[in-house]
Structure 1
């Protein structure tokens, strides 16, 4: 019975993978033929099947960019970047899409130390740092076993140094994974989908408008109250807007 269930699960996974690959190949062909809307439908069907990947979101971003859809193109490029933060092609296309925005918001200046810290922690995702830590644990075990079994003094010394270095780097990777996860957890980015949004001082329509933002602007959600969300933009300004006007980037 268990073997039958396992076989059915494997067949289902295999069928789903084959179906998604067919949809992806068809979408790519549609994109190459200039049928961007049809390509988007195929890519979204793959999403509905439960598959999420940087390449899928990247292609969705490209398709919307071709249709001059500012908000969706930036949204999908940003999602692709969340899954593959070091991909230069995604970053480059995102910059092109961001140039289509009406808002030119200057970021709050940061110190060089802060830039170095963010660059180091963001070198990999928290999963990436964790996988690297696991690999270093295996390397530590192998080096320690080599130290135990080798006889020549110089080889034992090299094995011991390698094992200790692997262990130290493993601890660093675990720390980086924790810091990256905390950074990820405390960051709730979203993209404005409405053409124009008035950001208010309080979570009600009768409060004063603090500033106005437009489609494609990236915000960070700080708090929420009913259908309202308190956001901060890159220059540090904060205010409240209706949640329907933005779309979270972490809704995988």
Structure 2
């Protein structure tokens, strides 16, 4: 009888575990019910366990977008895009969020297909590809020096390695930029780091800025889309 009761208890515990919702499933259920703030809290908590999961950032972006915070939505979509640039849904939602702030994901004059090709791989993937090609080039070079074989293959590998190295160089330059998004409804751009300096311009929520320097509670930023430079309060922007 005791064995039967023990077996029954084990079966009940397994059934309860299978029926229990995971935090992500619970967040998705809140999102479907329109409880975006509750879903957001769970997604942001999940970042502690899944800091490199693009779809957690994507879902956080969706919550902020539904809550009307287009700037914070764009920041999280951008984080997801950097991790999973080939995902069509992430690209689409990032484009929408940026457009709501008057920004463009694809720079003016650049064909969209070229932008997709340039960002087809994430930065770690481009780096891995380049180092893989470097290893292959060194291996082929060693074989050619010893046996004088694979000369044409070595030359082709050298050309591809140069192209990949250039791709990595440009992507790294973009990667180390301190990109941020205006999260406040309006951010005032001032001539210095303080409210005692006059405001030279105002930037709406969702605009992309590049952080150049920091002092106390202020960032020095460049707003490329408007061609202006100045200081903005840190609380008004969200770094990506």
TM class, shorter-length: 0.7 to 0.9
In the TM superposition, residue 210 of structure 1 has moved relative to its aligned partner by 0.6
Q: TM-score, normalised by structure 2?
A: 0.73
CA drift of 1:38 comes to: 2.1
Partner of 1:82: 82
**Secondary structure at 2:231's aligned position in 1?**
strand
Change (3 A) 1:200 1:146: closer
Residue in structure 1 matched with residue 222 of structure 2 by the alignment: 232
SS of the residue aligned with 2:227?
A: coil
Match of 1:211 in 2: 201
**What's 1:28 paired with?**
28
Name stretches of at least 5 consecutive residues in structure 1 with no aligned partner. Answer: 1-20, 151-155
Give the structure 2 partner of residue 70 of structure 1: 70
* Match in the other structure for 1:6: none
The alpha-carbon distance between structure 1 residues 95 and 210, as it changes in their structure 2 partners (threshold 3 A), is same
Task: Say what the alpha-carbon RMSD is for the aligned residues.
Answer: 3.6
Counting matched residue pairs gives 216
Secondary structure at 1:235 match in 2: coil
Q: How far apart are 1:75 and its partner, in Å? A: 1.6
1:184 aligns with 2:183: no
Structure 1 pair 24–163 and aligned structure 2 pair: CA distance change class (3 A): farther
- Seen in structure 2, the aligned counterparts of structure 1 residues 165 and 228 have a Cα distance that, compared at 3 Å, is same
What do residues 2-60 of structure 1 show as CA deviations (whole Å, max 9, x unaligned)? xxxxxxxxxxxxxxxxxxx9322332333234332222122111112352222111111
Unaligned 5+ residue runs, structure 2?
Answer: 1-20
Q: Out of 227, 232, 237, which is 1:246 matched to?
A: 237
TM-score by length of 1: 0.70
- Indicate conservation of the 8 Å contact 1:140/1:162, yes or no: no
Counterpart-to-counterpart distance in 1, 2:72 and 2:136: 43
Off by >6 Å, runs of 4+ in structure 1: 109-112, 141-148
1:127 equivalent to 2:117? Answer no
